[in-house]
Amino acid sequence: MRFARGYLWNKDGDGGVVTVSFAWLEGADRALGLPSYETAGAAGADLRANFPAGERGGLVIEAGARALVPTGLRLEIPQGYEVQIRPRSGLALKHGITLPNSPGTIDSDYRGPLGVILLNAGDRPFVVNHGDRIAQMVVAPVVQARFELVTELSNTARGEGGFGSTGRG
């Protein structure tokens, strides 16, 4: 297996560098490159559909259906971080394409193929073409909490109010 090392970091290089390493899956189109930030202020790096050789004609997702779209990658996330997979707002607005498990969480100890579950919430079929930007990945720190069982919780002004209790909608 050959590895492509990807560095996801701010373009100014002024700190906050987190290295996420990638490995190509067999048959992946390496010409598509690694996930990338499109602007200096982008929080998410774009992920592309990367179908295996011989399957690059595209994938039709019928209205109301979902599909697992391959990226051609595996990744290694540093301990203490996660990768969140999020929808692309343009696909959601224009075509109703979103992620049913948004955000999708990739844990630092996962080493399998990186796939994106797309849901067509639109009213017509949607074609995912090889190389299309299908989602974005955000690298985020992880805090693992300590959980404890108590007999009482502290009081707050809000109390048990939920589901619209602080305002309309």
Q: Which residue numbers belong to the known binding site for substrate? A: 88-90, 101, 105-107
**Binding site feature residues:** 88-90, 101, 105-107
Residue with tokens 């990367």: 50
Residue with tokens 């595996």: 74
Distance CA 162, CA 158 (A): 8
Distance CA 140, CA 114 (A): 17
Pairing of strands 133-141, 45-48: antiparallel
